[in-house]
Amino acid sequence: HDHLITSKQLSRADIETVLDRAAEIDADPSAVANRHANSVLGLLFFEPSTRTKMSFETAMKRLGGSVVDMGSIESSSVKKGETLADTVRVTEGYVDALVLRHPKQGSAAMAGEFVDVPLLNAGDGAGHHPTQTLLDLYTIRENAGLDDLTIGIMGDLKYGRTVHSLAYALTNFDTRQHFISPESLQLPREVVFDLHQEGGGTQIREHDSLEEILPSLDVLYVTRIQRERFPDENEYQKIAGEYQIDLETLEDARDELTVMHPLPRVDEIAPEIDDTDHAAYFEQAHNGIPVRMALLDILLENNSDADTRGETDE
């Protein structure tokens, strides 16, 4: 299967193939404007989304293809109790690839067992968000380079799926990863274990404050505290408001520091940073288009090759 479920499955070569294709598309989008004119992408979003959903839809349309959207849980037959397995089994018959966002960790891996068309995980609970990672890597490569990189990743590292996916993918490169969070929102221990196991060129450190590490950073990746994933609202209230950055926080940062955020932000980054050279988070969101175009282009091309091979064999 050509499914993309977690960033763990991506080698350095896979990542570079997608990023290089995205850079080509970024330079000349008109070259691929009709490449997938007969292809249809299915969107299955069981959780809210602005960027991921709209940029997948835009990416598919900019490749000449079209999109069908299940819509909300309320307006679909999920409301009548249809299972995820049945939903993907049915909808794969309508489309050439499926994009799935679901609140339950592991849902994309499970759904992938039931379908032959490429299934792209657009976020499974606190698990993974590998297409976000690809656009994050593209943004890092453009702004700071991916080798000899010192990155700080700050905020909700426990529930933040973008962080989990990014941390695994960065082990393919020569990076120093500094994780900054309150103790209660540290990376899950199994993720830390995995990151050490992955080894490669990466070094891992954990901190409870940004101050000591800020001056050495090339990139500071800030995340939202995932309120909706806290079992207890009181625990959220204890943490809310910590780990915010403003211009004063960044006084000791390098001039070249790139600040990223997967968005949506709530109050983690003061708007006064938006107009500085540090801010790359809107550019990051816009990079979702060339990166998702590149990914869809590669997967749809592979799949149509596979279809053709199937016909020849018969």
Catalytic residues: 51-52, 80, 101, 129
State in angstroms the smallest separation of the CB of 53 from ligand CP.
6
Tokens describing residue 116: 């032959």
Residue placing its CB nearer to ligand CP in the complex, 32 or 137:
137
Alpha helices (runs of H) in the chain, residue ranges in sequence order? 12-27, 51-62, 84-91, 107-112, 130-143, 161-170, 189-198, 233-239, 281-286, 288-313
Q: Helix 51-62 and helix 130-143: axis angle, to 10°? A: 80
Residue placing its CB nearer to ligand CP in the complex, 132 or 202:
132
Residue placing its CB nearer to ligand CP in the complex, 35 or 104:
104
State in angstroms the smallest separation of the CB of 224 from ligand CP.
9
Task: Please report where in the chains the tokens 């969101």 appear, as a residue.
Answer: 285
CA distance 251 to 253: 6
Q: How far is CA 62 from the centre of its chain?
A: 20
Residue placing its CB nearer to ligand CP in the complex, 50 or 77:
50
CA distance 78 to 99: 16
Annotated binding site for L-aspartate: 80, 161, 224
Chain residue whose CB lies nearest ligand CP: 52
Annotated binding site for carbamoyl phosphate: 51-52, 101, 129, 132, 263-264
Contacting positions for ligand CP (CB under 6 A): 49-53, 132, 262-264
State in angstroms the smallest separation of the CB of 255 from ligand CP.
27
CA distance 196 to 148: 18
Tokens describing residue 279: 């801010």
Annotated binding site: 51-52, 80, 101, 129, 132, 161, 224, 263-264
State in angstroms the smallest separation of the CB of 264 from ligand CP.
6
Residue 73 — φ and ψ, nearest 5°?
Answer: -55, -45
